Amino acid sequence: MVKEVDKKGKTAFACEECGYVYEEKEWAEKCQTWCSEKQSCNLEITEHGAPPE
């Protein structure tokens, strides 16, 4: 499950594996699936999000 986080008053979604934050839940889920399977980040996915602060 991705984690819902508050990003400047808006709901965003964080990958629990790498911590990247996405405005769209779909991308967070893609990232989490990738991270848990590959134990690495996919740049084509993370470019849609923001690194953890």
By CB under 5 A, name the binding residues for Zn ion. 15, 17-18, 31, 35
Indicate the burial class of 49 (C-beta count within 10 angstroms; 0-12, 13-18, 19 or more): buried
User: Which of 9/39 has CB closer to Zn ion?
Assistant: 39
Min dist. Cβ of residue 9 to Zn ion (A): 23
Are the C-beta atoms of residues 13 and 28 closer than 8 Å to each other? yes
Please state, in angstroms and rounded to a whole number, the distance separating the CA atoms of residues 29 and 34.
8
Min dist. Cβ of residue 38 to Zn ion (A): 10
Min dist. Cβ of residue 41 to Zn ion (A): 6
